[in-house]
Chains A and B, each alone.
Chain A
Amino acid sequence: MPFPLKTSAIIAALALTLSAQTPLFRDPGSPSPKTQQVQYLYPEQVTLAAGKPQSVTLHFRIAPGLHINSHTPSDKFLIPTVFSVPQGSGVSLADTRYPLGVEYILPADPSTKLNVYTGDFAIETRLVATPGDHLVQARLRFQACDENACMPPRTIAAPIDVIAN
């Protein structure tokens, strides 16, 4: 007996309806600030001329209530914020310019002045890419504290899709 076309269409429609939930891979919500100390914001994708250093500014956000040491912290024992690009990714860092930190005084010790980043900050880089499409897992290493305690040093990924023509 021939399989009715109408029945097939009904089955397909039902399947569509039943599977029409939250779309796949939609972010269910941003994580708690205490569990994500620093976030990479943007850019997600850049287009460069291959072989030539070009400016790319990378934007990050520090969770409220936290600060991270700047690239030039005030004490030799403190861990600086450092941005890097992995070797062999097809993209290299020609130059990196970190923002100036701000002075931060620990409430418990007004005599101690730290040089830190808070809130949103941006790192200016000059990237050089070989021709092609490179998904680069750049990295930001930092060490965060709040007013009373410090969290261990951490490295987060800053994924950038670099298209070099």
Chain B
Amino acid sequence: MKRNTIVLGVTLLILAIFAWAGWANWEYRKQAAQKRADAAKLNAALATAANPEAMYTQSPLLGKQAPAFTLEDLGGKKISPADYKGKALLINFWATWCGPCKLETPWLVELEKEYGPKGFEILGVDAENDEVTPADKPAWAKDKAAVAQFVQQEHMPYPVLLYGDSISHQYGDFDAMPTSFFVDRTGKVVAMQMGITSKDDMALKIRQALGQ
């Protein structure tokens, strides 16, 4: 009798352990499957034979109104896309540590000179991705100084706005830079690109935004 009680107890314990193991395994597999699904989605975008550049030119914002925002420039002036109503805009996210961004800047300067008289403007939005916020005064001042130095070095004549990290979620949480959104005169996003292409390609997208 005593022996059977012990056997029963051990059997129930084993069953309980395996039930827990089964549940824990199922939970882990569910999370792993979700991660694989996310990675597969990204890989599918990269591997798309029809358009290998799809990852770099597609955005959920295409065809929609560019999300509104207000950010400060280096002088503390508040600037919004709404201030440029009726103009085509290029909202260009960049960072001081981004080599391709530096490469792209002279193109932007030339394009602004060429298309500015036709109703085009560039908003350069700095997004350092370093978790520094204006509340962290010393770190913020350091970041701002670095941006100012970069702007001066690269001779950027268009507005440069700070704290782009605060609006990156609205613009799709892009994970690479430079990332540009081309906005037409009605405020609609007509094209986007992640990474650099060429000055001519950007000119094409600017003309698209201008309605040419």
Name the distance in Å between B199's Cβ and chain A's nearest Cβ.
10
CA distance A153 to B39 in the complex (A): 20
B100:A149 contact, CB within 8 angstroms: yes
Name the distance in Å between A18's Cβ and chain B's nearest Cβ.
7
A8/B194 contact (C-beta < 8 A), A2-B4, A114-B99 known: no
Q: Which bracket fits the contact residues of A? A: 35 or more
A150/B95 contact (C-beta < 8 A), A31-B35, A106-B100 known: yes
B42:A112 contact, CB within 8 angstroms: no
- B42 neighbours in A (Cβ, 8 Å): 32, 34-35
Q: Which of B4, B56, B95, B99 contacts A3 (CB 8 A)?
A: B4
Q: Which of B14, B150, B176 contacts A149 (CB 8 A)?
A: B176
A16, A35, A146: residue with the most chain B Cβ atoms closer than 10 Å: A35
- In the complex, which residue of chain A has the Cβ closest to the Cβ of B149? A77
A106:B43 contact, CB within 8 angstroms: no
CA distance A65 to B108 in the complex (A): 26
Q: Render B148-167 as a binary contact track against A, CB cut-off 8 A, 1 for contact.
A: 00100000000000000000
- A32 neighbours in B (Cβ, 8 Å): 39-40, 42-43
Q: Which bracket fits the contact residues of B? A: 35 or more
A19/B21 contact (C-beta < 8 A), A150-B95, A150-B100 known: yes
Q: Which residues of B contact A (CB under 8 A)?
A: 1, 4-5, 7-8, 10-11, 14-15, 18-19, 21-22, 24-25, 28-29, 32-33, 35-36, 38-40, 42-43, 46, 56, 95-103, 129-130, 146, 150, 175-179, 194-198
- B7 neighbours in A (Cβ, 8 Å): 3, 5, 8
B195:A148 contact, CB within 8 angstroms: yes
Name the distance in Å between B98's Cβ and chain A's nearest Cβ.
4
A77:B97 contact, CB within 8 angstroms: yes
B1:A150 contact, CB within 8 angstroms: no
A153/B130 contact (C-beta < 8 A), A8-B11, A19-B18, A25-B28 known: yes
CA distance A114 to B100 in the complex (A): 11
A-B contact pairs, 29 of them (CB 8 A): A4-B4, A15-B18, A19-B19, A24-B25, A28-B32, A28-B33, A28-B36, A31-B39, A75-B99, A77-B97, A77-B146, A78-B97, A79-B97, A106-B99, A108-B103, A108-B196, A108-B198, A112-B103, A148-B195, A148-B197, A149-B98, A149-B100, A149-B177, A149-B178, A149-B179, A150-B97, A152-B95, A152-B129, A152-B177
